[in-house]
Amino acid sequence: MGEIIGAGLVAHAPTIMLPAETRYELNEGKEISLVPGLHRLKTEVLDVLKPDTIVLFDSHWFTIVEFCVAAHERRTGRYTSDELPRGMSQIPYDLKGSPALARAMADCATEAGVRTTAVDDPYLPIHYPTVNLSTYLHGGEEWVSVSHAYSGEPDDFLKVGEGIGQAIAQSDKRVVLIASGSMSHRFWPFKQIPLHEASDPIHISSPEAREADYERLRWFAEGNHAAVIDTMPDYLRHAPEARFGHYLMMAAACGGREWRARGRQFSDYENATGTSQVHVWFDKPDDGWN
């Protein structure tokens, strides 16, 4: 029997890939907390858990008519972002996959009622949530990316996550889940962005979005995932990245409304040009996920 041994909401902001001197320049002479937070996640969590596989819900892999799962034996190459080539340029990656698990995840999600396809096309692009986080966190384990269907509603994300959780339970893998994306996710207008590049959350796009994020961070700390799920219609007003599908899929795989794992932050709650950024990790409780 397979199992999910850890899960986290982890930021992939392009800032983490900038040279240290550039990060300091943008952040009033200080390091952003996201970078040391990723180093801590690697040494304090992943190096201890030693998962067989990391399943990453990639909020930049946009699909429309279906969800997709990367089913490659291996993905290798160099990545340059069309969004920000100045900061993400020719980044090497070499990620072993888990084709059988990927296919099982797609099959179970489809059986749960949401069309999901396993894809092993060698020309399939890779996206920077996977590349950026693997640069910091990869330790030789398998990596599988899951797409985000932008046409999806919360119920679709939850059903896909349920299917993925079932596939993992039926496998022989010890799996870590990473929901890679931010919370509220509105950018400042182009001309105002240079005024809001520091990490202080005062620069989040609106006070209302900031308070909505803080409320959910409190629920994470309490292990109250039901509250997060039940209030999605209200939270969508604050434009969470990818309609918060990355979190919803992860949460559903771990038990959905019954999930009780408490979150601990591995970074501050930070701004990135108006969007919120934070690392929150959920350890598997001794008595199980729910």
pLDDT in tens, 133-148: 999 999 999 999 999 9
Tell me, yes or no, whether 183 lies in a domain: yes
b/e 104-136 (16+ beta carbons within 10 angstroms → b): bbbbbbbebebebbbbeeeeeebbbbbbbbbbb
What CA–CA distance (Å, rounded) separates 198 from 177?
29
Tell me, yes or no, whether 290 lies in a domain: no
pLDDT of residue 289: 64
Tell me, yes or no, whether 289 lies in a domain: no
Sheet strands (E) in the chain? 3-10, 53-63, 67-70, 74-79, 91-96, 116-119, 142-149, 174-180, 263-265, 270-272, 275-277, 280-283
Overall number of domains in the chain: 1
What CA–CA distance (Å, rounded) separates 176 from 97?
14
Distance (Å) of CA 163 to CA 73, 115, 116: 22, 11, 10
Q: What is the DSSP letter of 10?
A: E
pLDDT along the chain (290 residues), means of 10: 97 96 93 98 98 98 98 98 94 98 98 98 98 98 98 97 98 98 95 92 96 98 98 98 98 97 98 96 82
Query: pTM for this structure?
Result: 0.97
pLDDT of residue 134: 98
Tell me, yes or no, whether 288 lies in a domain: no
pLDDT of residue 288: 74
pLDDT of residue 119: 98
Q: What is the pLDDT of residues 28-79, one digit of tens each?
A: 999 999 999 999 999 999 999 999 999 999 999 999 999 999 999 999 999 9
Tell me, yes or no, whether 181 lies in a domain: yes
Which range of residues forms the domain containing residue 255?
Answer: 3-283
Tell me, yes or no, whether 264 lies in a domain: yes
Residue whose pair of structure tokens reads 């599908």 in the numeric block: 245
In this structure, what CATH number is given to the domain that contains residue 94?
3.40.830.10
pLDDT of residue 14: 95
Q: What is the distance of C-alpha 51 from the center of its chain?
A: 17
Closest CA to 67 of 278, 279, 256, 248: 248
Q: What is the residue type of 78? A: R
pLDDT of residue 238: 97
